[in-house]
Chain A
Amino acid sequence: MKLLKLVPDHTNIHFLKWRVPFYLGSLLLMAASLGLVMTRGLNLGVDFIGGQMIRVTFERSAEAPVEALRAEVTRLGYGEPGIQRFGKPNEVSIRMKLPPGADHDPALADKMARTITSAVKAAHSDARIDGVDSVSGKVSKELGWDALWALGSAALFVAGYIWLRFEWQFGIGALLSLVHDVTLTLGMFALTQLEFDLNIVAALLTLIGYSLNDTIVVYDRIRENLKKYRKMPMPELLDLSVNETLARTIVTSLSMLITLIALLILGPPVIFGFTAAITLGIFVGTYSSIYMAAPILIWLKVSSKSFVPGEATGDAAAARRN
């Protein structure tokens, strides 16, 4: 039986030859993503800015009557609603700011939800209320801080773990590629204005875990080769390591993408943003483990001496002496 080979044996692509332009390109992309997040902003959901979100499905309509809805809800005097489609064209979410004073008297928020849902149901006989989320300003602030804490500590913890298992240069490389992956994903959310809610934070945390998978596999091979080929120059050795693990990188990334794309196309629309974030994360994560995590080892002067027993702790000093 002939088996499928996506990466031919003895592949030898000189990835690292282009490391400077690729690095600059990546940094530019990161800057652009940050710029997008600053200027355009993220489309934060009620989880993070507080307010009310009412999900409605119009069961017998092909498309939700967005403009009519906007007029009907505005007429109620609670301000202009944010109306977005999600999932199928006949499903929308109506987002409202909480009425002033709702933090002291939750009954006001309650009343608003009831007024809006009954108005929508009265105007559209096929409207089905799928859910109401109401988050006070206080709780949303806490959720935001919790999310930042979780992301920050996850990045530091895993980088710290890699430092323990490898060397400090590897920890920095891993951290850098994590920051790269998360920044680009945030940039995508700023660009597409997909809603950024609590689930997306979970997606970013997942992405941190899985993007490191690739990085670790490459690093593990680099460490092995550093011990094996003492005299080989670093760029060549990195190229060798990346090429040796290339088949695995491609097959694993494809495996993840197969399931993710099934989820993206066929899965529940409510978690579309979540799946999209992880899917993009797999792409940038694979790229960053080759072009962010590996080249930095050259600049941080990793050498075969880094793993010689006895000198392992003094590697930086050893590198300087040479």
Chain B
Amino acid sequence: MLDFPRWKVISLWLLTLVCALAAVPTVVSMANLRWPAGLPEPKVNLGLDLAGGSHILLEADPAQVRRQKIDTMEESVRGKLKAMAQPVRISDISNNNGTLTFLVDDPGKIDAVREAVEPLTTGAGMTGKRDWTISVVDGNRFVLTPSAEGIALAVTQAMDSAVEVVRKRIDALGTKEPTIIRSGPSRIVVQVPGLQDPQALKNLLKQTAKLEFKLVDMAAPPSDVAQGIAPPGDEIVPFADAKGGAGAAKLAVRRLGGIRGDQLTNAQLSNNPQTNAATVTITFNSEGGEKFARLTSANVGKPFAIILDGKVLSSPVINEPILGGSAVISGNFTVESAGQLAISLRSGALPVDLKVVEERTVGPDLGADSIRRGMIAMGVGTVALALFILVTYGRFGGYACAALVINVFMILGLMGLIGTTLTLPGIAGFVLTIGAAVDANVLIFERIREERHRGRRVVAAVEMGYKEATRAIFDANITNIIAATLMFAFGSGPVKGFAVVLIIGILTSVFTAVVMTRMWVSQWLRAARPADITL
């Protein structure tokens, strides 16, 4: 055991040195010094609870994705059947109850319809299932039901693009280093360090920015509209500036046949030269521009509704075809809300509505205070602990203390290398790890003491001490790792940060307390050949 070959000594020190070097950027930044630009900086990031900032958990409603999927299917089916060489007449179309059903008037055309509709379904990802099941009941009623796999795929796709939209919108705010990640099937976590007032951010995120242009149904009886009863093929949409209650302004619009405002190249804050009111000017791309030109050309003299997120902004009459590919949206805007709408439209509509289900904001002073106090506690705790170990184990205690110092640097270095985040409980984890790290040394030293009392010679006692204690050290640390791993698996942000510190600390403390001290002890024993040891 006393035999430590040179290569082993060198590689141990090299490993220690690399980890310790990796800790330098972190130490420098914590001491509020500047790190030279250009050098690599594997730095430990501060969590939101230390740096201040906002954590927002957004959730989408899968039922909404399902409804959208059915709506899209309805439009596809109608278009497809109309475009057939011999158009098929269908009636009694209903998309309630989570399915799409319709009657084929001519029972002889059932097979032709099935042939036309089947290509509209696709495979649901890698599941091997189709995203729709098609069945015919009562002879001529088609029932199209989205499959669970199809819905799951649609939700995943919607969430993936929602993440992109959220990222674009946050970038437009100019905040630094936001973290935007999917969490579970229908959630997105947004973390923005240093953001003090998340209000602007939340306003941006809660706006779906689904812009639609739909034709107003002038034939709808006003009394029905006021009661919210939609004539067939229509939907009732409230005005954005209506105050609610009975008699609130509503509008009946044709459900299908409008166009969506998602084919844009630009959206800008503008203002109406006559009234000086804030407006948003949108520019369509060529495809969107053509659609818009067609819609306006075919409906000159009729009113249409500009609908944002299910609310009517305005319903101007189309005086002449709009062929230029751009349009001005007016509503009850302030300069601020018009600016936000422009950002939202530029970054695209969210494919689903997002709801804030959890929000945590931490001010910067609290975090700074926590770091300062955490550092003081750590310093005092470490010094007191080192003194205690020194008076208890003498020279051996000195080795344990040296191991402790290396341990601190190794933890910081490793955390920086894997890019973990230091959170408030993480600081506690750090302090706790320091207390626990000496346990391995205590176990070893006490065992050496015992072996000396049993009359073993110095070298044999040291050898036995390390050998016999290692078993218990191993078992004890495995159980700690189990607990910390579960903490990591189930915990949220700050708790995860704590678990990471704990796991890294357990690994490095076993290394420094067992391997490093053994090297020093054996080097000393070989050099000094003491007849007795004070322990």
Task: Tell me whether A256 and B482 are in contact (CB under 8 A).
Answer: no
Q: Is the CB of B424 within 8 A of A136?
A: no
Chain B interface residue bracket vs A = 35 or more
- Beta-carbon contact of B377 and A262 below 8 Å: yes
A319 contacts chain B at the CB level, 8 A cutoff = no
Q: Which of B365, B380, B449, B483 contacts A158 (CB 8 A)?
A: B483
Let me know if B391 and A278 touch, CB within 8 A. Answer: no
Roughly how many angstroms separate A139 CA and B493 CA in the complex, as a whole number?
A: 14
Closest B residue to A257 using CB positions = B435
B377 A263 Cβ-Cβ under 8 A = yes
- Segment touching A, from B34-42, B138-146, B226-234, B436-444: B436-444
What's the nearest-Cβ distance from chain A to residue B356, in Å?
A: 4
Known: A209-B479, A268-B373. A256 touches B360 (CB 8 A): no
Query: In the complex, which residues of chain B have a beta carbon less than 8 angstroms from the beta carbon of A135?
Result: 357-359
Complex contact A106–B355 (CB within 8 A): yes
Question: Contact flags (1/0) for A208-239 with B, using CB distance below 8 Å?
Answer: 11101100110011001000000000000000
Is B92 an interface position by the 8 A CB rule? Answer: no
**8 Å CB contacts to B: which residues of A104-123?**
106-107, 109-110, 114
Nearest-neighbour CB distance to chain B for A167, whole angstroms, equals 14
Given the contacts A3-B392, A206-B502, A251-B392, A134 and B377 also touching, CB distance less than 8 Å = no
Closest to A160 in B: B482
- Tell me, rounded to whole Å, the shortest Cβ–Cβ distance linking B135 to chain A: 34
User: What residues of chain B lie closer than 8 Å to A278, measured between beta carbons?
Assistant: 428, 432
Q: Are B479 and A134 in contact (CB under 8 A)?
A: no
| A176, CB-defined interface residue at 8 Å | no
Min distance, Cβ B55 to any Cβ of chain A, angstroms:
9
Min distance, Cβ A151 to any Cβ of chain B, angstroms: 8
Interface size class for chain A? 35 or more
- A188 interfacial contact with B, CB 8 Å: no
Chain A residues near B393 (CB-CB < 8 A): 3
Q: Flag whether B494 is at the interface (Cβ < 8 A).
A: yes
- Closest chain-A Cβ to B404's Cβ sits at a distance in Å of 10
A260 within 8 A of partner (CB): yes
Most buried by B among A9, A201, A262: A262
Q: Say how far B530's CB is from chain A's closest CB, in angstroms.
A: 13
B358 touches A130 (CB 8 A): no
The answer for the CA separation of A259 and B391 in the assembled complex, in Å, is: 17
Q: Does A157 contact B (CB under 8 A)?
A: yes
* Cβ < 8 Å to B, chain A residues 47-99: 55, 57
Which chain B residues lie closer than 8 Å to A301 at the CB level?
none
Q: Select the stretch in A19-27, A36-44, A269-277, A291-299 that faces chain B.
A: A269-277
Quick one: closest A residue to B184, CB to CB? A142
Chain A residues, CB < 8 A from B502: 206, 209
Residues of B within 8 A of A317 (CB): none
Question: A202 CB to closest chain B CB, in angstroms?
Answer: 4
Say how far B360's CB is from chain A's closest CB, in angstroms.
5
The answer to whether A259 and B435 touch across the interface, beta carbons within 8 angstroms, is: yes
Contact with A along B183-209 (1 / 0, CB 8 A): 000000000000000010010001000
Contact among B380, B385, B425, B495 with A255 in the assembled complex (CB-CB below 8 Å) = B385
Whether B358 lies near A136 (C-beta < 8 A) is yes
A133 to B366 CA separation, bound complex (whole angstroms): 14
Confirm or deny: A35 has a beta carbon within 8 angstroms of a beta carbon on chain B.
Answer: no
Q: Is the CB of B385 within 8 A of A259?
A: yes
Given contacts A133-B360, A262-B384, contact A268 B370 (CB under 8 A): yes
Chain B residues near A284 (CB-CB < 8 A): none
CB distance from A225 to the nearest CB of B (A): 12
Q: Is the CB of A153 within 8 A of B486?
A: yes
B423 to chain A, nearest CB (A): 10
The answer, yes or no, to whether A147 is at the interface (CB within 8 Å) is yes
On whether A128 and B472 interact (CB within 8 A), knowing A208-B483, A259-B435, the answer reads no
Contacts A134-B359, A154-B483, A259-B381; is A244 near B431 (CB within 8 Å)? no
Instruction: Tell whether A266 pairs with B380 under 8 Å between CB atoms, given A213-B476, A248-B442.
Output: yes
Chain B CB within 8 A of A313 CB? no
CA–CA, A57 to B449, complex, Å? Answer: 52
Instruction: Tell me the complex Cα distance, A224–B447, Å.
Output: 13
Contact of B432 among A6, A143, A256, A266 (CB under 8 A): A256
Indicate if A311 sits at the interface (CB-CB under 8 A).
Answer: no
Contact A198 B494 (CB under 8 A): yes
Q: Pick the contact of A202 from B373, B482, B491 — CB < 8 Å?
A: B491
A128-B392 contact given A136-B357, A205-B483, A259-B435, CB 8 Å threshold = no
Residues of chain A within 8 A of B429, CB atoms compared: 206
Whether A150 contacts B489 by the Cβ 8 Å rule is: yes
Q: Does B487 touch A at the CB level, under 8 Å?
A: yes
Alpha-carbon gap, A143 to B384, bound state (A): 37
Q: Residue of A at shortest CB range from B354?
A: A106
Contact B365 A57 (CB under 8 A): yes
B309 to chain A, nearest CB (A): 13
Q: From residue B425, how far is it (CB to closest CB) to chain A in Å? A: 5
Question: Is B427 close to A, CB under 8 A?
Answer: yes
Query: Is residue A138 contacting chain B, with contact meaning CB distance below 8 A?
Result: yes
Most A CB within 10 A of own CB, among B376, B389, B432, B502: B432
In the bound complex, how far is the Cα of B474 from the Cα of A161, in angstroms?
12
A129: chain B residues at CB < 8 Å are 363
A162 CB–B CB distance under 8 Å = yes
* Residue pair A256, B435 in contact (C-beta under 8 Å): yes
Contact of B428 among A157, A224, A245, A267 (CB under 8 A): A267
Q: How long is the Cα–Cα vector from A182 to B405 in the complex, in angstroms?
A: 32
Cβ contact within 8 Å between B376 and A274: no
Of B394, B425, B442, B475, the contact of A216 (CB 8 Å cutoff): B475
- For residue B446, CB closer than 8 A to chain A, the reply is yes
Q: How far is the CB of A46 from chain B (nearest CB, A)?
A: 10
Are A154 and B482 in touch, CB under 8 angstroms? yes
Chain A residue contacts of B384, Cβ below 8 A: 258-259, 262
Contact A212 B363 (CB under 8 A): no
Partner of A248, one of B49, B432, B446, B495: B446
Contact across chains for B374 and A267 when beta carbons are under 8 A apart: yes
Q: How far is the CA of A237 from the CA of B432 in the complex (A)?
A: 33
For residue B480, CB closer than 8 A to chain A, the reply is yes
Within 8 A of A (CB), among B342-360: 355-360
User: A271–B476 contact, CB under 8 A?
Assistant: no
In the bound assembly, the distance between CA atoms of A143 and B454 in angstroms comes to 53
Given A244-B450, A259-B434, A205 and B425 contact (CB-CB distance below 8 Å): no
Cα A274 to Cα B483 in complex, Å, equals 16
Residue A179, interface by CB 8 Å: no
Which B residues are CB-close (under 8 A) to A255?
385, 388-389, 435-436, 438-439, 442
Most buried by B among A129, A254, A263: A263
Kindly state whether residue A283 has any CB partner on chain B within 8 Å: no
- If A252-B439, A259-B434, A263-B377 touch, whether A147 touches B490 (CB-CB below 8 Å) is yes
What is the bound-complex CA distance between A158 and B480, given in angstroms?
Answer: 9
Contact for B498 among A139, A153, A202, CB less than 8 A:
A202
Q: Given known contacts A139-B357, A198-B491, A259-B382, is B394 in contact with A271 (CB within 8 Å)?
A: no
Complex A-B: 24 CB contacts under 8 Å: A4-B392, A128-B363, A132-B361, A133-B360, A135-B358, A149-B490, A153-B486, A154-B482, A162-B475, A165-B475, A198-B494, A201-B495, A212-B479, A216-B475, A217-B476, A224-B468, A251-B392, A255-B439, A256-B435, A259-B385, A259-B431, A260-B431, A271-B424, A278-B432
4 new A-B pairs (CB below 8 Å) besides A3-B391, A131-B362, A265-B377? A251-B442, A262-B431, A267-B427, A268-B369
The 5 closest A-B pairs by CB, nearest first: A262-B381, A209-B483, A150-B490, A259-B435, A259-B381
